[in-house]
Amino acid sequence: MAIGFTAPWVILSLARRPDFAASATFVRWNVLGILDLVVALSIGTVSAALASGAPGEVTTAPMATLPLLVIPAFLVPVFLMLHTVALLQSRRMARD
């Protein structure tokens, strides 16, 4: 969540200094963003697999119905693609 929380400041840095996209800080931020999304999906998957079905147990079942289904099924892949594209563009800027 810390990476998502810092997104407005990264956007502000990019707006003020477009060359920030070629910096190591920007690359590190995107790699941590990808790692954050992968860990979140992994934890959700593991906790769903380990659910025992005991009464009162907190489960991931709400994430399998709309509207929450949109998060793991649509938003996470979109953000993974956005981070990847940002890394590719950063790499291209660093070469130029």
pLDDT at position 80 is 96
Instruction: Parse the chain into domains and list their residue ranges.
Output: 2-46+59-95
pLDDT at 57: 85
Residue 69 has pLDDT above 80, yes or no: yes
Buried b (16+ CB within 10 A) or exposed e, 25-40: ebbebbeebbebbeee
Residue 54: the pLDDT is 84
- Residue 29 identity (one-letter amino acid): W
Contacts of 79 (CB under 8 A, 6+ apart): 33, 37
Examine the pLDDT at 2 and tell me if it is beyond 90.
no
pLDDT on residue 59: 85
C-alpha to C-alpha distance for 83 and 64, rounded to whole angstroms: 25
